[in-house]
Amino acid sequence: MVLLGTLVNGLAIILGALLGSLVKNIPEKVKSTVMQAISLAVIVLGVSMGLKSDQFLIVIGSLVAGALLGERWDLEEKLNRLGKWLENKVGAKENGGIAKGFVTTTLIYVVGAMAIIGALDSGLRGDHSVLYTKSMLDGFSAIIFTSALGIGVIFSAIPVMIYQGGIALFATQIDRFIPSELMDTFIVEMTATGGIMIIAIGLNILGLTQIRVANLLPSILVTAILVTCVYYWSSIIAFFSFFG
């Protein structure tokens, strides 16, 4: 079943959020320290991903162009509006709990190599092991995030399943028209680009910055375009050099 890994991931987030909502008596000092620890781990993960790039100019170009597109489309504000809408529907009384929890965890669970690589593995090879691993990480962190940020975390399961499920379904056909070398290059550069966004998320959770990370999301699309252009341009150069 192509979507099995994605469904398990979504259920893990929901179960983690439900468990986190039951944890009411954690002292604020403990929540703060745990969130800081998670933030530091997220930053380290982002750094390790960011260093994987083989062509860092693509990463820089993708982030710049992606930021311009994201600001034009105002994705951060749209995500916040969706979170506020959910907050109103649920009738939450806590200060921004639904919106903050939803936006923060959606970005963390969606922006990353494991989401894309795991979904690709599910679609291309029927191997769900990466998404199973991601499910464990997401489920555990959902407990902590929900206890600290509120029940809004549970709604992040929806975009996670749509995003990863879409990639998995697309991957079932991807090998017909995308060369494996091009796909490998994209995964590497996408990992680095996503890693920098994950660093920004960690800094935001620590309260050190207010980076509009959602407005950087188009960078992933720009990375795919730039990698494709570089790949085919290099092929053209190699072709003419061979016959030149």
Residue 225 has pLDDT above 50, yes or no: yes
d(CA 116, CA 171): 10
CB 194 within 8 Å of CB 112: yes
Share of the chain above pLDDT 70, in %: 93
Domain ranges of the chain: 4-243
Q: What is the mean pLDDT of residues 188-212?
A: 88
pLDDT single digits (tens) 145-165:
888 888 889 999 999 999 999
Q: Scan for tokens 């489920």, then name that residue.
A: 139
Output the CA–CA distances (angstroms, integers) from residue 59 to 54, 56, 163, 180, in the order listed: 9, 5, 22, 20
Across 37-51, 67-81, 98-112, which has the greatest mean pLDDT?
67-81
Residue 93 has pLDDT above 60, yes or no: no
CB 226 within 8 Å of CB 61: yes
